[in-house]
């Protein structure tokens, strides 16, 4: 934690990496349970990222996703949903990125988890199916994320009363 603060203090605010340093410090504060401080830093990083990289940049999308994850962690699911949707919208507006990009699938998975928490399981199932297909098409399959998506898909099916489908998913992937 002190190293992150030191790196930030040694980075000039006009440095292109400054928003990333703020994001890292925000993450550290969130990990320590200092959620208000974390949010303040994330919003500052977001503002700087939008000004340095543009509203529609992968850096901006990443910070939006981080804010969504923090809101999810503190169980403010409606706010989390909004930030996950905004992160996906940002990626949708980046010319060289499409819905087969791995981060796109990751952000959709985060949104799906939020929808499960909001008891919107059918919507979550559709997103997770899409996210899993993105993972399958990726040249680099992140096994941990892939299995987590399978686990969450099974959770959503169970919440909808589709126990056999959920069991098949869990047995197929040994989640």
Q: Is the dihedral of CA 122, 127, 131, 134 positive or negative?
A: positive
Rounded Cα–Cα distance for residues 45 and 136 (Å): 32
Residue 61's pLDDT is: 95
Task: Give the pTM.
Answer: 0.86
Task: Give the CA radius of gyration of the chain.
Answer: 17
Question: How open is the CA angle 89-109-73, to the nearest 5 degrees?
Answer: 95
pLDDT digit of tens for each residue in the chain (175 aa)? 565 555 555 556 777 888 888 999 999 999 999 999 999 999 999 999 999 999 999 999 999 999 999 999 999 999 999 999 999 999 989 877 665 566 778 898 899 999 999 999 999 999 999 888 877 777 677 788 888 889 999 999 999 999 999 999 999 866 4
Rounded Cα–Cα distance for residues 22 and 29 (Å): 11
Tell the residue number behind the tokens 């804010």, with chain if given: 67
Nearest of 61, 154, 153, 143 to residue 112 by alpha carbon: 153
């Amino acid at each position: 934690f002190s190293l992150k603060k030191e790196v930030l203090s040694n980075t000039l605010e006009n440095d292109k990496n400054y928003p990333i340093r703020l994001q890292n410090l925000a993450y550290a504060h969130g990990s320590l349970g200092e959620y208000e401080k974390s949010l303040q830093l994330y919003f500052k990083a977001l503002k700087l990222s939008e000004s340095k990289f543009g509203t529609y940049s992968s850096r901006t999308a990443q910070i939006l996703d981080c804010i969504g994850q923090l809101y999810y962690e503190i169980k403010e699911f409606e706010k989390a949903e909004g930030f996950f949707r905004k992160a996906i919208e940002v990626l949708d507006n980046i010319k060289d990125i499409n819905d087969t990009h791995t981060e796109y699938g990751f952000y959709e998975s985060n949104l799906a988890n939020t929808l499960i928490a909001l008891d919107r399981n059918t919507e979550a199932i559709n997103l997770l199916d899409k996210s899993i297909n993105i993972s399958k098409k990726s040249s680099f399959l992140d096994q941990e994320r892939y299995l987590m998506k399978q686990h969450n898909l099974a959770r959503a099916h169970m919440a909808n009363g589709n126990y056999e489908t959920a069991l098949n998913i869990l047995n197929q992937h040994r989640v």
